[in-house]
Amino acid sequence: MEKEPGIEKIKTGKPSWQEGRAKTVTFIVTEDCQLACRYCYLVGKNKKGRMSLETAQKAVDYLLREREIFTEPSIIWEFMGGEPFLEIDLIDQISDYIKRRMYEDDHPWFNSYRFSFSTNGLLYHTTGVQNYIEKNGAHVSIGITIDGTQKKHDLQRVYPDGRGSYADVVKNIPLWLEQFPESSTKVTVASDDIPFIKESILHLWGLGITQVNINVVFEDAWKEGDDRLFEEQLTQLADTMIADRLYRDYTCSFFQESMGSMMDCVTDNRNWCGAGRMLSIDHQGNFYPCTRFAPYSLQNKPPVIVGNVKTGLDLNRLRPFLSLDRITQSTQECLDCEVASGCAWCQAANYDFADTATVFQRAVYICKMHRARVRANNYYWHKLNRKLGRSGVIKGDPS
């Protein structure tokens, strides 16, 4: 946490494990899910795509064998779906295999790994999941997605029959926080969610989730006026955070002190999207540069397969993802933008919405939303800095 001498502390977000130097390998263990969330980018969820233990084992063997390709000192073995906990028994078997093989091979990863999950939380309390946590506790990281107030959560995160899932998720939150203190949640905001942003973030903090990572969807899902409403919500949230001194104990990723300024085309050219650095594996043993390039996740384009458990990783197929930078994908308008820093991109969204089958055409549907965020962010830090007597610089003029 940051503290200038004599100045009140401001809570900052917890850094990611191993400062982002870990390799993330994602097993898409199932394409099935109990929910039918309206904003879910997994447009092709189904009951058929289930990974076999054999496929997972082949993938693990390959990853452990190719040390010249996979040189990272740490690894995150991630399990995703659909809803991963639908396959907790399979995950348990895969995890046991991973641990044993890392040890048998005397692989450095044995001394630096995590099992990571992103779950809808519905099965968190079940025996299978709890046994798994008990067994692997020190190495497990679980994120439950709860989108805010019941009203907001149930707008999007619904069962196939349209019922909201909030009640079934929230009852597992206390257990989750008890087992994983200082956990964060990921909240996604689409157009209909905007009026509920402020109350939702406050609600999540009230539940004890002190770190809320929240982002707007990359898709072309925004209506005229959404940016103004979004800015109003964030401004109201800022006022509450400052008035009630919530900044001491809670964080919301919408507010970052260093964002919203122009970016240099050489020194600020780095690609921050991890596609290509992570590896995703589906039930057929196909490799993807990120889960969002798998068939069930794309709306308009064919999947991008960069290898297979049988043939290995095609390093040539990874080159575009690893060489993509800010300037090559961006329009001149983006490059000239005076509030560019902090404006996110997603290579899969680029690809899915591009005019051709390329990752080098930036999807810019979030442009107005980013500008609105910058204005609210500037407002927050300006007001907070004045209150705390901190120095601070308002960067850029987003209008």
Partner 1 sequence: MIKYLIAILDKQATSFCYYENPDYYRPASALMPRAELEKTVDYAARNKIAVNFLYGNRRLPAPYEDLIESIDHVKIMPLKLRREMSDGIFVINRDDRQEIGRLEENFHLNLILRLERGALGELAGIFRSLLGKFRRLNLCLLNMEDYRPEDLTEYGKQLAKIEQYAADEYRAGNMPEINFISDRFMLQNMNNCDAGITHLTVAPNGKLYLCPGFYYDNAENSLGTWQPEIEIKNSRLLRLNHAPICRNCDAYQCKRCLFLNQKITGEINTPSSQQCIASHLERNTSGRLLDALKPVIESFRPYVSIPAIPYLDPFEIINNLAAQEVDYRERERSIAGLLSKPLENMTTKELLFQVYRLDKELLMQLKNIVREE
Partner 2 sequence: MAETKEKSGKKIGQVTAEERDEIRFLFERKNGLLELSRSLVTVDKKTLENSPLYEKIVADLGKVSTKFQDWWDEKSVGYHWESVRGSHWQIDFETCDIYIVAND
Q: Which residue has the tokens 């989730």?
A: 209
Q: Which does 359 bind (CB under 5 to 8 A by kind): partner 2, partner 1, none?
A: partner 1
Contact assessment for residue 92 and residue 115, using Cβ atoms and an 8 Å cutoff:
no
Bridge-based pairing state of the strands 279-281 and 286-288: antiparallel
Min separation Cβ 329 and partner 1, Å: 9
Q: Per this entry, what is the length of the chain?
A: 399
Rank residues 9 and 14 by Cβ distance to partner 2 and give the closer one: 14
- Of 62, 85, 113, 124, the residue at the interface with partner 2 (CB under 8 A) is 113
CB 249, min distance to partner 2, A? 14
CB 324 → partner 2: shortest distance, Å?
30
Non-local CB neighbours of 383 within 8 Å, separated by 6+ positions = 238, 239, 242
Question: Does residue 99 bind partner 2 (CB under 8 A)?
Answer: yes
Residue 15 makes contact with partner 2 by CB under 8 A: yes
11, 139, 317, 383: which one contacts partner 2 (CB under 8 A)? 139
DSSP state of 313: E
As measured in angstroms, the least distance from the Cβ of 296 to partner 2 is: 31
Nearest-approach distance from CB 46 to partner 1, in angstroms: 26
What single letter denotes the amino acid at residue 127? T
Between 75 and 80, whose beta carbon lies closer to partner 1? 75
| # residues contacting partner 2 (CB under 8 A) | 21
The answer to whether residues 216 and 226 touch, using CB atoms and an 8 Å cutoff, is no
Q: Cα separation of 25 and 27, whole Å? A: 7
Which helix (H) or strand (E) covers residue 321, if one does? helix 315-323
Shortest reach from residue 218's CB to partner 1, in Å? 18
Residue 138 touches which member of partner 1, partner 2, none, C-beta under 5-8 Å by kind: partner 2
Q: Which one-letter amino acid corresponds to residue 394?
A: I
Binding residues for partner 1, per CB under 8 A? 266-267, 270-271, 277, 304, 315-317, 319-320, 322-325, 328, 354-361
The nearest distance, CB 68 to partner 1, in angstroms, is 12
Question: Residue 266 binds which one of partner 2, partner 1, none, with CB within 5 to 8 A depending on kind?
Answer: partner 1
Q: Are 221 and 365 within 8 A, CB to CB?
A: yes
- Which residue, 177 or 354, has its beta carbon nearer to partner 1? 354
93 DSSP assignment: H
- Closest distance between partner 1 and the C-beta of residue 269, in Å? 8
Q: Tell whether residue 136 is a contact of partner 2 (CB under 8 A).
A: yes
Interface region with partner 2, contact rule CB under 8 A, candidates 93-101, 253-261, 351-359, 367-375: 93-101
- Toward partner 2, which CB reaches closer, 141 or 385? 141
Which residues from 162-221 bind partner 2, rule CB under 8 A? 180-182
Find the shortest distance in angstroms from Cβ 99 to partner 2.
5
Interaction between residue 248 and partner 2 (CB under 8 A): no
Give the integer Cα–Cα distance in Å for 282 and 50: 8
Q: What, of partner 2, partner 1, none, does residue 181 touch, CB below 5 to 8 Å by kind? A: partner 2
What is the spatial distance between Cα 213 and Cα 148, in angstroms, rounded to a whole number? 12
Of 39, 70, 110, 365, the one binding partner 2 by CB under 8 A:
110
Window contacting partner 2 (CB under 8 A); options: 49-57, 103-111, 285-293, 321-329: 103-111
